[in-house]
Amino acid sequence: MLPKISVVIITKNEEKFIADAIKSSKFADEIIVLDSGSTDKTCKISKSLGAKVFFHKWLGFGEQKNKAVSLASNDWVFVLDADERITKDLLLELDKVFCGNKINAYAIPRLNYFFNKPVRWGGLFPDYSIRFFNRNFGSFNKVEVHESVEVVGEIKKIKTHMIHLAYSSVDEFLLKQKKYSQLSIKRKSYIRMIVSPVWTFLKILVLRLGFLDGWRGFVIAYVYAKYSYWKYKP
């Protein structure tokens, strides 16, 4: 049986996604939305659907999520992005396997949608990340981007995936990866700038069978190669 849970979501201008994220979280005892300055209807929609809405200036992904977690009333939190959805099947499995006195965190797979279709190859599935955890034993590391939860104690992997509506267009994908590359702290190197993109492209498309996702697999490999190029470019 699941404990009392707080679903935690950080937002900025997420009116396109936030309603369905909150609706998929209605099982929770409370839903916390921490906004960092939306100029659209994100906060209005969130409040209308019963979420508790707070504001805090942007701290970086890891710190912002830690701030949101600190606002929760319950020890057990499920950290959700606005473009993610918690499925009924995932809840059923969590309810079945939950044993809070032994496990401090649960790693959950994500099924990523690229350009309106699920992608299962290229190393992008099952895409595990810790999202459901006891905040007394876990917190996000303090990085600008690609943050993750660090946990003291045992972690259990869940089989049932959640949904991630990653990117609806190639342009959106490219722009976001360029932004992430600027936030990523890596030592600049001309050698890595040349070698890493080639390796990234071949790894995703060939070694991890990204070509089985058709043209989407090719685009994903190309864009992540570009990300690698931008990340190491002096």
Give the mean pLDDT per block of 10 residues along the chain (234 residues): 96 97 98 98 98 96 96 98 98 93 95 97 96 97 88 96 96 94 82 94 98 98 96 90
Which of 143, 166, 189 is at the close of a domain?
Answer: 166
Same domain, 139 and 61: yes
DSSP category for residue 138: E
Same domain, 29 and 107: yes
What DSSP element (H or E) covers 103? none
Residues of the domain holding 105: 5-166
CATH of the domain at 27: 3.90.550.10
Pairing between strand 129-134 and 76-79? antiparallel
Pairing between strand 149-151 and 138-140? antiparallel
The reported pTM is: 0.92
Same domain, 32 and 54: yes
Which of 114, 131, 166 is at the close of a domain?
Answer: 166
DSSP category for residue 20: H
Determine the pLDDT at residue 144: 77
Burial of residue 150 (number of CB atoms within 10 Å: 0-12, 13-18, 19+): middle
DSSP labels, 66-94:
HHHHHT-SSSEEEE--TTEE--HHHHHHH
Same domain, 84 and 95: yes
Domain count, the chain: 2
Residue 137: closest CA among 76, 96, 63, 79 = 76
Report the phi/psi class of residue 175: left, alpha or beta, with left for phi > 0 and alpha for psi in -120 to 50. alpha
Pairing between strand 105-108 and 129-134? antiparallel
What dihedral angle (degrees, nearest 10) is formed by the CA atoms of 178, 120, 81, 109? -130
Q: How many residues does the chain have?
A: 234
- Angle 63-25-40 (CA atoms, 0-180°, nearest 5)? 65
Determine the pLDDT at residue 142: 87
Evaluate whether 21 touches 9 at the Cβ level (below 8 Å).
yes
Same domain, 162 and 197: no
Which of 166, 189, 219 is at the close of a domain?
Answer: 166
Same domain, 126 and 42: yes
Determine the pLDDT at residue 210: 98
Same domain, 162 and 104: yes
Sheet-wide strand order for 155-157 = 52-55, 30-35, 5-11, 76-79, 129-134, 105-108, 155-157
